Amino acid sequence: MSSNDSDAPSKSIVALLADVDGTLITKDKVLTHRTIEAVHRLRKHGIAFCVTSGRPPLGLRMFIEPLQLTGAMAAFNGGIIVRPDMSEIDRKALPRDTVPAVIETLRAHHLDVWVFGPRDWYVTDPKGLRVDRETSNLKLPPVVVPDLEHTLDDAIKIVGVSMDLDAVALCEAKLASELGTRVSAARSQPYYLDVTHPDANKGVVVERLARYLKVPTDRIATIGDQSNDVLMFKRSGLSIAMGNATPDVQRQATFVTSAVGDEGFARAVDRLLAMPTAA
């Protein structure tokens, strides 16, 4: 592991907020035994464990039993906060007046468009790019519609999809310049551009977790691997980038653990618990 700054947070860490794909689970979408044990070890040391993901609520069900999750989970990067029984605590749909401009910009950059509502996700082409892969990852098939018009009133997340990674990055920058603070747009993978409510991003999730725990944000640690995780890095007291993160993401974390395929999450927990101020 490498460090970008002093390891020790200014105050004791009381919670770890974790990204899911590429951080908590492997490329094959598996929770390893060491990861499960690491989460249980955190709790034994009095450190709360929470997850935040671009996944829909139902896409988080697979983690509840093995990780013994009992607290709130932030789906859609905070667009919906749910309990483990899938009951909603909070919901932040995309501002309806921004949705047409979002879709127009995605399509102008030749990105496929998916729309996620509170429970279902919608596509116009069931054989489209990465639709099968996403269905497998989420354990949730999409609803196929002739057009997206009737899915937009309660859209929580809109995703642009392309294997032209430069186009995805350019589209992210375009949305930021055109819509500014009216939406939050960030890549959850190099080929996925997630667009959500401006208060539905992982940085805001850190703030909401801090309010729930009644502690300052500098007592929360975060761990992730993608550019949309940088927002939570900036709001937390200690941040950990996965070894599979890009160099730019790694530079913005307190320290870098090994890659997800080399038990990076479990190794990060070991290091966190070894810090004098961690518990």
Domain boundaries, the chain: 2-91+201-274, 96-196
* Gap between the Cα atoms of 184 and 198, Å rounded: 5
* Gap between the Cα atoms of 29 and 135, Å rounded: 12
CATH, range 2-91+201-274: 3.40.50.1000
If pLDDT is split at 50, 70 and 90, which confidence band does 278 have? low
Q: What is the structure's pLDDT at 275?
A: 86
- Listed residue (223, 188, 175) closest to 79, CA to CA: 188
- Edge-first strand order for the sheet with 157-161 is 143-144, 121-123, 112-116, 157-161, 192-196, 184-189
Residue at token pair 């007046």: 97
Per-residue model confidence as pLDDT tens digits over 44-74: 999 999 999 999 999 999 999 999 999 999 9
Mean pLDDT of the chain: 94
Residues facing residue 250 across a β-bridge? none
Give the percent of the chain with pLDDT over 90: 92
Q: Are 197 and 92 in contact (CB under 8 A)?
A: yes
Fold of 96-196: 3.30.1240
Is a pLDDT exceeding 70 seen at residue 229?
yes
